[in-house]
């Protein structure tokens, strides 16, 4: 069954270094589910029995992220999420390793690139500097209260 191209393998079948065990976890398109169940004579197991196969039905199988070298396998992150519910230590460790690597990669992508000296919030804060006081608009009489933290310094620029 695991060579059936109508399935996208996941869990321990899609991650190297994890021993394959029951159940086989795979994604299947809505249109193929009934035929696969009939062909392989699959039956729903009672809750207290571990099934041999878990099929996750999806509307569109092409929407399941794939492992580029092997499009018959789900992407590592998808497989890791499926492994997270395993009771096997090697499967859980593989899941944690893949998820940690994805989080690290995401943090690296989100981190601003350092270019030149480190800047502070004060350096990046927007400022408006007018060249002529006549261009200012606002109160012409009365008392104007300025914020306590108004930056009056132009720092020579």
- List, for residues 74-116, the tens digit of each pLDDT value: 988 888 888 888 878 888 888 888 888 888 777 665 555 555 5
Total H helices, total E strands in the chain: 4, 5
150 located within any domain = no
pLDDT bin (cut points 50, 70, 90) of residue 39 is very high
Number of domains in the chain: 1
61 located within any domain = yes
Distance CA 150, CA 41 (A): 75
Between residues 140 and 77, the one the model is more confident about: 77
65 located within any domain = yes
123 located within any domain = no
Q: Could you tell me the residue range of the domain that residue 78 belongs to?
A: 7-110
Within 13 Å, how many C-alpha atoms sit on residue 11's CB side?
22
137 located within any domain = no
Distance CA 15, CA 91 (A): 9
pLDDT at 122 over 70: no
pLDDT at position 141 is: 79
CA dihedral (127, 129, 133, 135) in degrees, to 10, reads -80
pLDDT at 34 over 80: yes
142 located within any domain = no
pLDDT at 157 over 50: no
0.75 exceeded by the pTM?
A: no
> Please, what's the b/e burial string for 50-77 (b: 16 or more CB within 10 A of its CB; e: otherwise)?
eeebbbeeeeebeebebbeeeebbbbbe
Mean pLDDT for the chain overall = 80
139 located within any domain = no
Between residues 148 and 100, the one the model is more confident about: 100
154 located within any domain = no
């Amino acid at each position: 069954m695991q060579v059936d191209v109508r399935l996208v393998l996941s869990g321990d079948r899609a991650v190297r270094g994890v021993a394959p065990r029951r159940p086989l976890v795979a994604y299947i398109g809505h249109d193929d589910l009934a035929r696969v169940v009939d062909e392989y004579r699959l039956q729903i197991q009672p809750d207290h029995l571990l099934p041999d196969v878990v099929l996750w039905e999806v509307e569109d199988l092409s929407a399941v992220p794939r492992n580029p070298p092997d499009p018959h396998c789900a992407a590592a992150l998808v497989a890791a999420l499926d492994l997270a519910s395993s009771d096997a230590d090697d499967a859980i460790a593989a899941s944690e390793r893949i998820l940690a690597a994805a989080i690290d990669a995401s943090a690296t992508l989100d981190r601003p690139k350092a270019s030149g000296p480190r800047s502070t919030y004060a350096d990046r804060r927007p400022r408006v500097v007018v060249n002529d006081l006549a261009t200012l608009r606002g109160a012409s009489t009365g008392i104007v209260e300025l914020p306590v933290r108004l930056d009056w310094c132009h720092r020579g620029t």
